Structure formats: C-alpha cells, structure tokens
Amino acid sequence: MFDHQKNPPMEPVDEVDTTLAFIDLADVTLPQGSDPLEKRHLRFRRVDVAPGGIVPYHSHENRPAILFVFQGEIVEYNSKHEQPRTHKAPSIIAEYNEIWHWWKNETSSDVIIYAADLAEPEKCTAGEC
C-alpha cells in the first residue's frame, strides 16, 4: 500500500459537485434491433467546428448524448423545433430518442464542444472511441 492510500480524505473540502444535465436511461427508447445499452461504450469527445463548419445531419435515437458548448456559438437545426436554435458557450444540451439535427458555425470564431455519449459498438470497432 502506498503512503497516500493509508489515510485518504473521506469527506470533501471546498468542493462543489453540480449535475448540469442527465439522461435517465430508462427514458431512452432505442430502435428495434439496436444493441442494448449495456453493450455500449461511454465516450467523451472534443468536437472542433471551424468558422463556416458543419456537423452533418444525424440522429440520437440510437446514441444518447450530452454536449457542453465550451467555446463559441453554434446554430442547431433541429427536427423538434421550427426555428434554428443558437447555443452559446457555456451551455449544455441533452440529446436522445427521436432528435434529428445538424449544426453550423455561422461565426468567424472556432467552436469547441465536449460531448459524452453512449457509442454504438461499431463506432468503437472502427477506432472512433
């Protein structure tokens, strides 16, 4: 046993733990034939979107995700909303079930998004995890 493990602190000191967003996995309805959630990989990614850049049209019906817009401003074109929605840093977005959308950086500055999702097994097999 290392010295730092002999008497570790068991209570927080000057720590604040705040849940910013969550997805109750009991509410997630995956399409029939999808791999069950317990076969997924929880991954955490950084997505950089240059000025004029586009995140292409995609769905979250098979991949629940929570996104954190860390830097910049990006416009989301979403199947659930008639008008585009602008997300400015710092903001959090939870995506799951029947959402189809795409994103565009319509500014002259880079956008950085951190994303946590339950990736499909084939994504991880292809080396994307």
Entry pTM: 0.78
Query: Would 97 be classed as within a structural domain?
Result: yes
Query: Would 67 be classed as within a structural domain?
Result: yes
- Check which CATH number belongs to the domain holding 81 and give it: 2.60.120.10
- Domain of residue 113 covers 13-125
Most distant pair of Cα atoms in the chain: their distance: 59
Whole-number Å distance between alpha carbons of 77 and 63:
18
Query: Would 5 be classed as within a structural domain?
Result: no
**What domain count does the chain have?**
1
Query: Would 45 be classed as within a structural domain?
Result: yes
Looking at residue 28, what is its pLDDT? 79
Q: 25-73, pLDDT tens digit by residue?
A: 778 777 777 777 777 778 898 999 999 999 999 988 888 999 999 999 9
- Spatial neighbors of 13 by CB under 8 A, at least 6 apart, are none
Question: How does strand 41-49 pair with strand 73-78?
Answer: unpaired
- Tell me the three state secondary structure of residue 26: helix
Q: 15-28, pLDDT tens digit by residue?
A: 777 777 787 877 87
- Spatial neighbors of 48 by CB under 8 A, at least 6 apart, are 110, 111, 112, 113
